[in-house]
Structure 1
């Protein structure tokens, strides 16, 4: 990956298009699960999306293997796709935007209360 690709994000675009092409080859139920996974993992992305790419790649590989084995999405992911995505993101050490905003708000409130109380 060159500096230019990193700066423009063209490497991510290429990888994203490859993910989409692979997802199109999945059976209908697996493809629907892929769309749901994408929606649940997006809040765990950073500004560039570089943290999201390995998580999406791993989830897509799991769906591909499940489809190749003839198993259903339910067998691989269970009933709670949102929970699966949260566990996957937490396993990668990612925090959502909401987590970061909450921490920042708590720090600011604590600082303000410290000034008022002191």
Structure 2
């Protein structure tokens, strides 16, 4: 990856397009699960989403392997897909973007209040 790709995010666009091409080859119920997994994992992404690329690749690989083995999607992901995604992203209680924004806001407010008070 070169500097230009890092700045523009074109490398991420290529990777996500490749993920989508791979997902199109999945059976219908697996594609629906893929969309749910993507939506739930996006909560744990950083600003660019680079931290999610290996996680998404692994999740898609799991779906591809399970589909090729003929497993039922509920046997693979269970009934709690958001919990499955939280576990993939670093475990239950891992910080999502709302937590990071809340912490940043609290830090900024505390900084402003300390300037006013002191």
Superposed displacement of residue 39, structure 1: 0.6
> Where does structure 2 lack aligned partners over 5 or more consecutive residues?
none
Q: Which residue of 2 aligns with 1:64?
A: 64
Aligned-residue CA RMSD in angstroms? 2.3
Q: Which residue of 2 aligns with 1:74?
A: 74
8 A contact 1:55–1:89 mirrored in 2: yes
Distance 1:105 1:9, change over 3 A: closer
- Per the normalisation by structure 2, the TM-score is 0.84
1:97 and 2:94 aligned:
no
1:45-69 CA distance string (max 9 Å, x none): 1111101111111110000010011
User: In structure 1, the residue corresponding to 2:89 is in which secondary structure?
Assistant: helix
> Where does structure 1 lack aligned partners over 5 or more consecutive residues?
none
8 A contact 1:27–1:67 mirrored in 2: yes
1:59-107 CA distance string (max 9 Å, x none): 100000100110011111100001100111125xx62111213334555
Count residues with an aligned counterpart. 116
User: In structure 2, the residue corresponding to 1:90 is in which secondary structure?
Assistant: coil
Distance 1:36 1:4, change over 3 A: same
1:6 and 2:25 aligned:
no
User: In structure 1, the residue corresponding to 2:26 is in which secondary structure?
Assistant: coil
8 A contact 1:89–1:95 mirrored in 2: no
